[in-house]
Amino acid sequence: MAAVLGGKRLFSGIQPSGMVHLGNYEGAIRNWVSLQSGHESLFCIVDWHALTQRHDPEGFRERVLDLAAWILAAGIDPDRSVLFVQSDVPEHLELAWYFATVCPMGELQRQTQFKDKSQHDPDNVNAALFTYPVLQAADILLYRAEVVPVGEDQVQHLELSREVARRWNARYGDFFPEPRPVLTPAKRILGLDGGAKMSKSKGNGIALAETPGEVWAKLRVAKTDERRQRRSDPGVPEDCNIYSLHGIYTPDPRRDELGRLCREAGIGCLDCKKVLAENLEAAVGPVRERHAAWKADGQRLGEVLGDGAARARALAAGTVAEVRSRMGIRGGPLGGGA
């Protein structure tokens, strides 16, 4: 990481909880690629966080490797950034326990994501889901990260991380920085239903792995501006989910032209979708090919993750050693003898 040591340390994580879709790609992974050259960057596949939801143990490891392959295919450079799996660095859990001793219950009860997920799946309101933000704080502060790229829905969790750092520092002495958010430039990407954020759980997304034919089958029936019942009806492109995707995948001036034609009823929704399908394939097709190459070279993929875990643990061990010392805890890693 010598090439980027002059930049601030950056941490971000992503869950291996299902298919990697356009929302993940634009909202997180693609943003990581643009940030990695200017920061000392650590990117983590947070598999422990994914355990808060029901999962298939047989396919879980494969999803972790698949996600790693997508991250590398998108352009994360393992020579410039640290890419690793959370469960390969046990210090995350140890620090989370220490942070739990200074994190007020009231702060956790106010977290909107816990409320939302509890309502979405009321039969799975587990303790880990409630304490999820404490582990998230440990993920970030374990590396004393100063910068955290987040979407709007994660700002509250990051503020909790800042609060945990303040409370721990006040009790044991100044050590942890208060990480600042860097909002992703991509706006919230709506699903093809046009009414909710693109989500694995809602099944309203386009997976990066899907073929052009599979993508077209979804786009063809995707919701558009409800004002356009017929081709001759003028539309409001800013209210159309398909046009919002054009904002990402169709360059100017073609995008502006499509907006004008929509307002003037000069193009039908189906033709507009065909243009999007072509541009989407031009952008995502090469990533899909690189992903296949990474998956085919399992040994190299394992080496990248192993090296990333070793580099992450070298940083994590120093943090935990200092925390133990300040909190008066004797012994080695995870309770080993002195």
Q: What is the pLDDT of residues 229-279, one digit of tens each?
A: 777 777 788 888 888 899 899 998 998 999 898 888 888 889 999 999 999
**Residue 47 near residue 87, CB atoms below 8 Å:** yes
Across 77-86, 98-107, 116-125, 246-255, least confident range:
116-125
Residue 213 has pLDDT above 90, yes or no: yes
* Mean pLDDT of all residues belonging to the chain: 88
83 domain-assigned: yes
- Residue of 287, 274, 286 lying closest to 245 (CA atoms): 274
pLDDT at residue 2 is higher than 60? no
pLDDT at 3 over 60: no
Q: Please give the pLDDT value at position 118.
A: 66
Same domain, 155 and 218: no
9 shares a domain with 118: yes
Query: Mean of the pLDDT values across residues 147-151?
Result: 88
306 plus 166 within the same structural domain: yes
| Between 335 and 328, the higher pLDDT residue | 328
CATH of the domain at 252: 1.10.240.10
Torsion of CA 229, 245, 280, 28, to 10 degrees: -150
Query: Do residues 221 and 137 share a domain?
Result: no
Is the residue at 204 inside a domain? no
pLDDT at 200: 67
Are 248 and 177 members of one domain? no
pLDDT digit string, tens, across residues 302-325? 999 999 999 999 999 999 999 999
The mean-pLDDT minimum among 19-28, 60-69, 85-94, 329-338 falls in: 329-338
pLDDT of residue 5: 38
Q: What is the pLDDT of residues 157-175, one digit of tens each?
A: 789 999 999 999 999 999 9
Report how many domains make up the chain. 2
- Quote the CA–CA distance of 56 and 22 in Å, as a whole number: 23
The Cα 305–Cα 311 span in angstroms is 10
Which residue range forms the structural domain that includes residue 58? 2-189+298-335
**Residue pair 136/111 in contact by the 8 Å Cβ criterion:** no
Q: Is residue 196 part of a domain?
A: no
Kindly state whether residues 42 and 136 are assigned to the same domain: yes
The residues carrying an active-site annotation are 117, 197, 200
The confidence score (pLDDT) of residue 170 equals 98
Confidence of residue 187 (pLDDT cuts 50, 70, 90): low
Rounded CA-CA distance 335/338 in Å is 9
| 320 and 250 in a common domain | no
65 has a pLDDT exceeding 80: yes
Give yes or no: residues 285 and 306 share one domain.
Answer: no
Same-domain status, 216 and 121:
no
Check residue 176 and give its pLDDT.
Answer: 98
Q: Are residues 315 and 271 in the same domain?
A: no
Distances (CA, A) of 68 to 99, 200, 300: 28, 17, 11
Beta strands 40-45 and 82-85, pairing class: parallel
